[in-house]
Amino acid sequence: MKRTVILLLILVPATGLVAQTSARKAPAPDVYLITIDTLRADHVHCYGYANIETPAIDALAKDGVRFSHAFTPSPITNTSHTTILTGLLPSKHGVTDFAIPLPATHPTWAEFLSAQGYHTAAFIGAVILDSKSLAPGLDRGFDFYDNFPEHPQTKVRWGRVERRGMEVAQHAEAWLTAHPRGPHFVWVHLYDPHDPYEPPAPYSTTYKDRLYDGEIAYADSALGNFLAFLKAHNWYQNALIIVVGDHGEGLGEHHEETHGIFLYDSTTHVPLVVKLPSRATTVKVVDAQVQTTDILPTVLDIVGASPVQQFDGESLKGYFTGETASRTVFGETDYPLRFGWARLRSVRTEGLKFIEAPRPELYDLRADPGELNNTYSPEKAEVQKSRALLADLRAKLPPPTSSGQGPAGSGSAASDFSDLPDPKDKIEEQNLLHRAMIASDDNQLADARKALEKVLEMNPKSPVALRQLGELELQAGNYSQAAGHLKSARQIRPDDATVAYNLGQALAKTGDLQGARDALEASLKLTPGQIAPRILLGKVYLELKDLNAAEDQFEAALLSEPNNAEAKAGLAKVKAVKK
Ligand SMILES: [Zn+2]
């Protein structure tokens, strides 16, 4: 990480990654980014929702500017955060699902500010933003990135997959206390409103019939704690502070319980509040439509860095002094691809939403803000104009690489949208799969099994349900059931190395050694670098009395991990038998 920073500093004069624009040297303001996960704009008090108290966001909006129509291009966490931190659309930065590394060619917010002499740190509330596992590359440019422990000691979700907002805020406060020298760029991620909805007391009782709102109110209290800390240290007044939601929540609208699959306003309309350093603005609310790709260009504009980098957004500075024009905003989700369904793209111009899908959609948002009455017909001028905007965007993407793994938005429109099922027809399946995933996270195996079995009743060939159920039975020690589901999953997705590995494990446990050998060989052929399947394959060969093959596997494992104790023990066993 340090090396990247140094490299950037060296590169600055040569490439002009960031250039100082003005001769005057006002002290650089501290920059604080607070992202609140899964936060619908219409569930925040100052956005007109009377059923909740969000005093911290409301007070910040009073001190700053509130954008009433801000949209995220992506409805999933990693993708939308990467957009905020790079100023790029998902199809441009390429992080279109969990665990996809952010390419080094895209500089991040932290790298830009690091190059300006900022001290940078990130505090995350969920393991899905952990840079060591599910969000590789997102830590670039941060002096400190508060990842989760690699070997968590606990089985409960707290501390293992999620941190409460108050804990995240306290980590940030402790770091700031230990590193008082500015300027600072600190990113605080409050995950609480993400499901499952389990706010702590007193929010669990105050909001007992609306636990999602309870989580929001609690996250707001953590924000309030952090802002009070800044004020107490005299770090508030001159700071640039941005609070933004990463995406919203379906809450059953369009039959979507959570988020990720659709591009309706329920999951793309987010709150955005910007408090500027010291000087107050006369503009308090901006109703123009803007997008979260605009945030990073705004920050660089305010701190006086002019990047050569091209963003998919523009500075919002003009709105602070009265600009009112709405911007065209885009929506992109590749999350449905994970389940074998078509990806979606959308264009939201003022008053109109077009969604490209196997069954396309067009909504007149003024008459139909709930996006319930699809008025799509291919000859409509609005449809053609929206399609032209999407085609323009696609044309700007880099060409696919030689491996065929192009960026997410590449490929023809036809292959993007018509070959696969429309997610609208699959949303009930997805709701169940999501419930199963959350239940598994919490070790609620019976609930997870019930949801997955229901998916298989609806669609016996759901590869995701077969895989998850197979993994669940493997974990539960039901090896022959596990093998059955994983065999079916493997027939549908023969290129999935993890399915093959898990099948190998299940078969080895049932005593089907030949079957286990074949599955493990297949897994390693797909992904040769894996250690665990290789060691298991060595053990299977040992049991099959094929000593040379066993020796080969253990030696291969030791080549990539010379100190692996299991491989060493396996090799010793082979040698003992050979004697
Ligand atoms: Zn999220």
Cα torsion 56, 49, 259, 468: sign: positive
> Residue 55 is encoded by which pair of tokens?
């005093």
Q: How far is the CA of 480 from the centre of ligand 1 (A)?
A: 36
Rounded to whole angstroms, the maximal C-alpha distance in the chain is: 87
Ligand 1 (single-atom ion) residues, CB below 5 Å: 37, 77, 246
Q: Is the pLDDT of residue 402 over 80?
A: no
Q: What structural domains and CATH numbers belong to the chain?
A: 2-21+28-321 (3.40.720.10), 340-394+409-424 (3.30.1120)
Q: Read off the pLDDT band of 442 (50, 70, 90).
A: confident
Q: Is the pLDDT of residue 25 over 70?
A: no
Per-residue pLDDT tens over the stretch 48-73: 999 999 999 999 999 999 999 999 99
Interval 230-244 mean pLDDT? 97
Interval 303-327 mean pLDDT? 91
DSSP character string of 27-93: PPPPEEEEEETT--GGGSGGGT-TT---HHHHHHHHHSEEEEEEE-S-SSHHHHHHHHHHS--HHHH
pLDDT of the residue at 278:
77
**Average per-residue pLDDT in the chain?**
91
Q: Is the pLDDT of residue 308 over 80?
A: no
CA 56 to CA 226: how far, in whole Å?
10
Q: Beta partners for 241? A: 32, 275
pLDDT of the residue at 440:
87
Between these two residues, 415 and 202, which has the higher pLDDT value?
A: 202
Q: Is the pLDDT of residue 531 over 60?
A: yes
Q: How far is the CA of 192 from the centre of ligand 1 (A)?
A: 10
Q: How far is the CA of 195 from the centre of ligand 1 (A)?
A: 10
Per-residue pLDDT tens over the stretch 87-135: 999 999 999 999 999 999 999 999 999 999 999 999 999 999 999 999 9
**Which of 1-10, 26-35, 513-522 shows the lowest per-residue confidence on average (mean pLDDT)?**
1-10
pLDDT of the residue at 8:
38
pLDDT of the residue at 157:
76
Q: How far is the CA of 356 from the centre of ligand 1 (A)?
A: 23
Q: How far is the CA of 79 from the centre of ligand 1 (A)?
A: 9
pLDDT of the residue at 249:
98
Between these two residues, 62 and 412, which has the higher pLDDT value?
A: 62
Q: Is the pLDDT of residue 444 over 70?
A: yes
Q: How far is the CA of 72 from the centre of ligand 1 (A)?
A: 11
pLDDT of the residue at 237:
95
Which residues are CB-neighbours of 58 under 8 A, at least 6 positions away? 45, 46
pLDDT of the residue at 110:
97
Amino acid at 222: A
Q: Beta partners for 348? A: 329, 353
Q: How far is the CA of 127 from the centre of ligand 1 (A)?
A: 11
Give the CA radius of gyration of the chain: 25
Q: Read off the pLDDT band of 37 (50, 70, 90).
A: very high
Per-residue pLDDT tens over the stretch 240-252: 999 999 999 999 9
Which residues are CB-neighbours of 481 under 8 A, at least 6 positions away? 473
Q: How far is the CA of 213 from the centre of ligand 1 (A)?
A: 16
pLDDT of the residue at 579:
81
pLDDT of the residue at 57:
98
Q: How far is the CA of 342 from the centre of ligand 1 (A)?
A: 21
- Predicted model pTM: 0.86
